[in-house]
Amino acid sequence: MEALRAQEKAKARQRRTLGIGAAVLVVLLAVGGILWATLGSSKSSSSTAGGAFCGNVASGSPSNKQWPQPPAMSIDTKATYTATLKTSCGDVGLKLDATHAPKTVNNFVFLAQQGFFDHSHCHRLTTAGIYVLQCGDPTATGTGSPGYKFDDEYLNDPAIQGGTYPAGTLAMANSGPNTNGSQFFLVYKDSQLSANYTPFGTITSGLDILNHIARDGSDNSNGQGDGKPNDNVVINSVAVAK
């Protein structure tokens, strides 16, 4: 009889132990499930938010038009011209300086009206030393052009003579003196650059968009805060107004 009682007690203890173990397992699984769902949701939300920021990409591809020489002067140098870069990340407003950089503004207006910039990627973002987003190359390689080159202008602009291109500056990119074509850059933070790049306008709206793109970073392909933007920055179209 005593032996049977001992066996029953042992079985009871075993059942209690198994019950407690099962309860602990259920709790652990529940907590794990909550953590997994939270992490998954956070990752999904982050991915969705990042994709949504520059997710408005219009269908189409760059025209890659080419011309043998710069366009003839057709703008009114005494008028005020504005432009809106309609990008996949939002609109960026520009005021063009036709008074001090007439050839450059004339070129930009011409290319915009020809749809040259449409569906082109902004191919370069710098986030160290200089702080610019570079666009205007239909090939997105940094070597594209409209087929011609033209001279620099307004390099005596007091704003850049001290070696600083202020935040909000719109300027031409080049590969040396008098090699302007279609590529330009948008300065989102004061940048130390020699006065070799024609300033031809200012950013009037959308600086917050550029800073968001900058925060998302680049692929840093040269290891110095310089590379392709992580965001898919596409110029869907450019609207110019006089």
- pLDDT at position 118, please? 98
Q: In the CATH scheme, what is the code of domain 81-241? A: 2.40.100.10
* Mean pLDDT within 168-184: 98
Greater confidence (12 vs 58) lies with 58
Confidence of residue 25 (pLDDT cuts 50, 70, 90): very low
Three-state SS string over the chain comes to: CHHHHHHHHHHHHHHHHHHHHHHHHHHHHHHHHHHHHHHHHHHHHHHHHHHHHCCCCCCCCCCCCCCCCCCCCCCCCCCCEEEEEEECCEEEEEEECCCCCHHHHHHHHHHHHCCCCCCEECCEEECECECEEEECCCCCCCCCCCCCCECCCCCCCHHHHCCEECCCEEEECCCCCCCECCCEEEECCCEECCCCCCEEEEEEECHHHHHHHHHHCECCCCCCCEECECCCCEEEEEEEEC
- pLDDT at position 111, please? 98
Is the confidence at residue 15, as pLDDT, over 80?
no
The answer to whether the predicted template modeling score (pTM) of the entire model surpasses 0.85 is no
